[in-house]
Amino acid sequence: MNRIVSGLFRVSIVLVMAFITLPLIVVMAASLSPSSQVTLVPWEWTVRWYGDLVARRWIDPFILSAQIAVLVSWISGVLGLLAAYVVAFEKCPGHAAIMSFLLSPLAVPQVVKGLSIVLFLSSAGLYPMAR
């Protein structure tokens, strides 16, 4: 019995991994399409689009984005470290308010996810919203 469960577990893991990676494989295959329309004809594949990525038109914005990302990472890291130190070791006035402000970004994705689920169910007619 244990061997059957183990085999089913491995099969389910393989199926989940295939479900996760299959869209990525399709997108990568579609990126080899010779035209701007997606075609999955292997004998027409080309790397033309990847060659266009190294053009100066795309390199300059990429470098600017990378510089901005490094700068923002350093600034947010230093500010986050200082804020964590103050909240953890220095009991300042408004300690609870500062802590809730600093932790508020953790709640935002959950609120957005909940709102999007309600809107989806409402548009599908499965969750009637009061109007």
* Per-residue model confidence as pLDDT tens digits over 23-64: 888 888 888 878 777 777 777 778 877 777 777 788 888 899
Per residue in 69-127, pLDDT (tens digit) is 999 999 999 998 988 887 778 777 877 888 888 788 887 788 888 888 888 888 877 76
CA 57 to CA 59: how far, in whole Å? 6
Compute CA distances 44 → 32, 41, 85, 124, whole Å: 8, 6, 58, 40
- The residue type found at 129 is M
